[in-house]
Structure 1
Amino acid sequence: MLKKVISFSLVVVLSFSVVFSVYFLNPEKVEAAPSFAKGADISWVAAMEAQGYQWKDKTGVTRDILQILKQDYQMNSVRIRVFVNPSNDYGNGYMNKDRAADLALRAKNAGLSVMLTLHYSDSWADPGKQNKPAAWSNYTFQQLMDAVWNHTSDVMNTMKSKGVTPDWVQIGNETNNGMLWNDGKASLSMKNYAWLVNSGHNAVKSISSSTQTIVHLANGYDNDVFVWNIGGLVSNGANFDIIGMSLYPSNTDWSTKVTQTISNANNMITRYNKPIMITEIGMDYNQPAAAKSFITDIKTKIRNIPGGKGLGVFYWEPQATPSYNGGYSKGAWQADMKPTIALDGFIN
């Protein structure tokens, strides 16, 4: 009898040791990324709350916006951007590494997976502008690669200090013509662009080997741009895990654009054997019925890509109210702080 008690006690101690190790020593390993992400870019949440915004659900009850997204619309993930040295302007800057880490921790505590979007700029980076951070403006190309590595590592470690390990990290944002212009402008030097992507990718993996990296381009329906850009990266030795796409159709062409985007996604998978994630979608807030249909359609078709190669869909800043930040009109909340029906498209 004594032998059995000792054996049982040993099993309990060993089991507790395993649980303690997994949950407390390695918290980033507890939760796996969802097999299919349904999410939202929530980066404006911190600024909007600082400005006094509070959100209501469809019944008019004021609740935490993350809980509304998760509980009412079945979202399991969020996307958060990080600028290098942003201003404190609520709309255009604000999201530095520390505020991003605080928001990421809040999302994690709400049971949501986290994607980081690294802009490698002090403000917005997109197809029309990829401006270097002011502090990097006179760097040599080697110094730029080092800066990308150091900044990426710094952001990852800031997240880690809060107990958050992102499931995905975008190396740049809508880099249709590369990043950190002109050194990393793809039309001038695809090789430089590829090496900058590698600098970010390698920095992410040095902190968390399980985190998946994303190269993200706008206009997911434009196969020519994707073949040129993604093909150029691959042929120049760039390493990354996922191809990200943006899609912002109108209420009249969304069906055609979804068909073209799915065709492009399948072509990318065939050519480069990389999975696809739609990391940004949106439609005018005053077309909520069309937006709901659009979300339902692209969510369903991405999920149904063969082999599980369609990894998810993220709505860009759905919590934005009409004309927030000087005119953004593709949110999914009304001026009365109640949602439109657009996000119902995420509900299974």
Structure 2
Amino acid sequence: MVSLHCVILLANQEVPVADQSNNALKKLLHTLLLTAVCFLFMNAAKAQFIKGADIGWLPQMEASGYIFYDSTGTQRDCLEILKDHGINTLRLRVWVEPSNDRVNGHCSKKEVAALAVRAKNMGMRVMVDFHYSDTWADPGHQAIPSAWVNDNFNQLLDHLYLHTFQVLDTLKLLGVRTEWAQVGNEISSGMLWPEGSTSNWSQLGALLNKGYEAVKAVDSSTKVVLHLDQGNDNYRFRAFFDSAENHHVKYDIIGLSYYPYWLGTDYTLSVGDLGSNMDDISERYNKEVMVVETGGNHLLAQNTYDMLKAVMKKTAEVPNGKGLGVMYWEPEGEAAWSGYPLNCWGPDGKPTSALNAFLFNPLGVKTINSEQEDFFYPNPSDGKLLHLDLKKLSGLCVIRVLSVNGMLLAENSFESNSTIPLSLGLKPGIYAIQLNNKGNTTCRKLIVR
């Protein structure tokens, strides 16, 4: 096997212009160099890393007249802004018979279907989160929907199956592929209380399996997620999923919530436990894992940015590629509108810098575009200053400077539509300059003399 350093050496030999065969060889080696350097920055990824957002409030925000702006101050569709910041997946919660309260209601079957179609049209992936309630279901609230409250247990099973099937079948008929379906939301103490409490695992197991069966009846390829809170608490997860195994519960993926804010400590004190828990449960139960909810204080954008990158990194490091991705719970839910402090949207209607964390790809590049023309000059360079030519692009651009062994040396974000000077301070050698724009990545070799 040719080593990376051999490729670099060969790719930079002076070749006579008239020697066409050598020119072809040099072009090939040049491409190999770009590929090798860029892919050294990534863990071998078998699929796109999930970078998601739960956006259940969005339709009501729009209906109330809320206007979204990108970082340049241009009014745009919120989904476009999220996509420009690296979001590739939408998580949509669905309630059974919700109220019309703009914050604590809506998310009906019809409204979820409309939002799912928008997601599909934007080229985004879709997860449906079944709360099996008329409003919030979480560790402290798992109320049976009002229409099911007088059910006996067999009727409750039938209602759960029918509701799950109808929602997913409607999306299927609309041409939306549901890649993941969450059967219950933060169910560490069970769901549909009291019948589905963890104090009655035989019934909880039956309810979970009924949901699984409904999901697979619509599309056998849809992955079923079981979701618990406090993703840093290994004991909590072992207790639940050991019981699930003992009661023969069927599922595909373990979903985790991780909110340092609600733990009352900085993420640096618990993100290691999150990573250790994901490593443990992925091996113990032989399941893929996904952080399906996280978020940070909107007033501490840098801290939230750092937390998100740390969570994505821990997820990507789960052995055997079993860490699938990370989702933010209501990034667009600006505090003055929602009253929720863990969004990443400012009072000016623009996303905060925290959202830029989703431009970071812990698995490396999504694509390497070898045909696109160079986006910087001069090359070769003296290593002090480059000029970035971003005039033909739109939206946010992330520029990364990589060493020949794949080490990230610098990372900067810029708005496109201009030529931008970039100070470097690089020593003589070979580097890779990586451009990420709207999820596509171009990588170019830079020679510093």
TM range (shorter): 0.7 to 0.9
Q: Which amino acid aligns with 2:139?
A: P
The aligned counterpart of 1:103 is 115
Equivalent-residue separation in structure 2 for 1:323 and 1:296 (angstroms): 26
Equivalent-residue separation in structure 1 for 2:336 and 2:272 (angstroms): 29
Equivalent-residue separation in structure 1 for 2:62 and 2:358 (angstroms): 24
State yes or no: 1:75 paired with 2:87: yes
The aligned counterpart of 2:73 is 60
State yes or no: 1:41 paired with 2:54: yes
SS for the counterpart of 1:279 is strand
Which residue among 264, 267, 270 is the counterpart of 2:280?
267
Equivalent-residue separation in structure 2 for 1:91 and 1:295 (angstroms): 25
Which residue among 245, 248, 255 is the counterpart of 1:244?
255
SS for the counterpart of 2:335 is coil
Does the 8 A contact of 1:149 with 1:200 survive in 2? yes
Equivalent-residue separation in structure 1 for 2:72 and 2:313 (angstroms): 27
The aligned counterpart of 1:295 is 308
Q: Which amino acid aligns with 1:242?
A: I
* Higher strand proportion: 2
Q: How does 1:190-205 map to 2 (within 5 A)?
A: 190-205=201-216
Does the 8 A contact of 1:323 with 1:329 survive in 2? no
State yes or no: 1:133 paired with 2:145: yes
Does the 8 A contact of 2:336 with 2:347 survive in 1? no
Distance 1:247 1:233, change over 3 A: same
Does the 8 A contact of 1:85 with 1:96 survive in 2? yes
State yes or no: 1:277 paired with 2:263: no
SS for the counterpart of 2:120 is helix
The aligned counterpart of 2:161 is 149
Q: Note the C-alpha offset of 1:161.
A: 2.3
Gaps of 5+ in 1: 1-32
Does the 8 A contact of 1:220 with 1:247 survive in 2? yes
The aligned counterpart of 2:232 is 221
Render the CA deviation track for 1:303-345: whole Å, top value 9, x for unaligned. 12121100010000000112433x2111111111011111111
Equivalent-residue separation in structure 2 for 1:195 and 1:34 (angstroms): 32
* Higher helix proportion: 1
TM-score for the superposition, normalised by structure 2: 0.68
Q: Which amino acid aligns with 1:41?
A: D
Root-mean-square deviation (Å): 1.3
State yes or no: 1:324 paired with 2:333: no
Does the 8 A contact of 1:34 with 1:113 survive in 2? no
Q: Which of these two proteins has the greater Rg computed from alpha carbons?
A: 2
Does the 8 A contact of 1:126 with 1:175 survive in 2? yes
Does the 8 A contact of 1:102 with 1:162 survive in 2? no
Render the CA deviation track for 1:29-64: whole Å, top value 9, x for unaligned. xxxx95320010011111111111111111111111
Which residue among 243, 263, 268 is the counterpart of 1:232?
243
Q: Which amino acid aligns with 2:164?
A: T
Does the 8 A contact of 2:295 with 2:328 survive in 1? yes
Identity across matched positions, percent: 43
SS for the counterpart of 1:79 is strand
Render the CA deviation track for 1:191-250: whole Å, top value 9, x for unaligned. 211111101111000000010010000100111111111111111010000000001113
Equivalent-residue separation in structure 2 for 1:201 and 1:175 (angstroms): 15
Q: Which amino acid aligns with 2:186?
A: E
Paired residues, what number?
313
State yes or no: 1:212 paired with 2:212: no
Q: Which amino acid aligns with 1:338?
A: K
Q: Note the C-alpha offset of 1:276.
A: 0.5
Q: Which amino acid aligns with 1:114?
A: V
Quick check: 158-167 or 97-106, which moved more? Answer: 158-167
Does the 8 A contact of 2:52 with 2:88 survive in 1? yes
SS for the counterpart of 2:65 is coil
The aligned counterpart of 2:182 is 170
Does the 8 A contact of 1:58 with 1:338 survive in 2? yes
SS for the counterpart of 1:55 is coil
Equivalent-residue separation in structure 2 for 1:314 and 1:34 (angstroms): 16
Q: Which amino acid aligns with 1:88?
A: N
Equivalent-residue separation in structure 1 for 2:175 and 2:287 (angstroms): 29
TM-score for the superposition, normalised by structure 1: 0.88
The aligned counterpart of 2:326 is 313
SS for the counterpart of 2:226 is strand
State yes or no: 1:112 paired with 2:124: yes
Q: Which amino acid aligns with 2:227?
A: H
SS for the counterpart of 2:325 is strand
State yes or no: 1:343 paired with 2:355: yes
Equivalent-residue separation in structure 2 for 1:82 and 1:172 (angstroms): 10
The aligned counterpart of 1:22 is none
